[in-house]
Chains A and B, each alone.
Chain A
Amino acid sequence: KAGVTQTPRYLIKTRGQQVTLSCSPISGHRSVSWYQQTPGQGLQFLFEYFSETQRNKGNFPGRFSGRQFSNSRSEMNVSTLELGDSALYLCASSPSLAGVQETQYFGPGTRLLVL
Chain B
Amino acid sequence: GENVEQHPSTLSVQEGDSAVIKCTYSDSASNYFPWYKQELGKRPQLIIDIRSNVGEKKDQRIAVTLNKTAKHFSLHITETQPEDSAVYFCALYFSGGYNKLIFGAGTRLAVHP
Contact = CB atoms under 8 A, between A and B. Distances in A.
Interface of A: 31, 33, 35, 42-45, 48, 50, 55-56, 58, 90, 92, 94, 96, 101-109
A55 B100 CA distance: 9
A103 B49 contact: yes
Contacts of B36: 106
Secondary structure of the B contact surface, majority rule: loop
Given A43-B44, A101-B30, A101-B93, A55 B103 contact: no
Contacts of B104: 42
Contacts of B45: 106
Contact of A106 (B31, B44, B93): B44
Interface string B39-59: 000111110010000000000
Q: How large, as a class, is the contact surface on chain B?
A: 20 to 34
A101 B32 contact: yes
Given A42-B105, A101-B93, A96 B43 contact: no
5 contacts: A44-B103, A48-B100, A90-B43, A90-B44, A105-B46
B100 A45 contact: yes
A49 B102 CA distance: 16
A73 to B, nearest CB: 17
B69 interface: no
Nearest to B103: A43
